[in-house]
Homo-oligomer: A and B are copies of this chain.
Amino acid sequence: MKASIQDVAKRAGVSVSTVSRSFTRPELVSERTRQKVMDIAESLDFQISRSATALKSGQSLRIAMLISGPVTEWFNSHVFMGLNAVLQQQGYDISIYTINTFEARKAFFNDLPVRRNADAVLVCSFNINSAEVSRLRHMNVPVVGVNISDPDGFDAAVTIDDRDSMKAAVRHLVSIGHRRIAFIRTTHGTPFTYSADERMEGFIQACREAGPSVISTVLHCPINPNPINSAVSQLLALNPAPTALCFQTDDLAVPVLYRLRRYGRTIPGDFSIIGFDDSTYASDIGLTTIHQDPEEMGRVAASKILELIDTEKTAKPFETFPTQLMLRETTAPYAPPVSADADTAQ
Residues of A within 8 A of B (CB): 1-2, 45-52, 54-55, 59-62, 70-72, 74, 77-78, 80-81, 84, 88, 93-97, 112-113, 115-117, 138-140, 226, 228, 251, 254-255, 258-259, 262, 280-281, 284-286, 295
**CA distance in complex: A2, B81 (Å):** 30
A78 vs B76: C-alpha distance in the bound complex, in angstroms?
12
Out of B59, B95, B140, B228, name the residue touching A93 (CB < 8 Å). B95
Given the known interface contacts A139-B45, A255-B281, the answer about A71 and B61 at a Cβ–Cβ threshold of 8 Å is: no
10 closest Cβ pairs, A-B complex: A255-B284, A51-B54, A47-B115, A258-B285, A72-B77, A51-B55, A93-B93, A47-B116, A228-B284, A77-B77
- Whether B251 lies near A49 (C-beta < 8 A) is no
Contacts of A81 in B (CB 8 A): 70-72
| This chain's copy number in the assembly | 2
Chain B residues with CB under 8 Å of A295's CB are: 72
Minimum Cβ distance to chain B for residue A232 (Å): 9
| B residues less than 8 Å from A62 (CB atoms) | 50, 93
Asked, given contacts A49-B60, A51-B51, A254-B281, whether A2 binds B93 with beta carbons under 8 Å apart, the answer is no
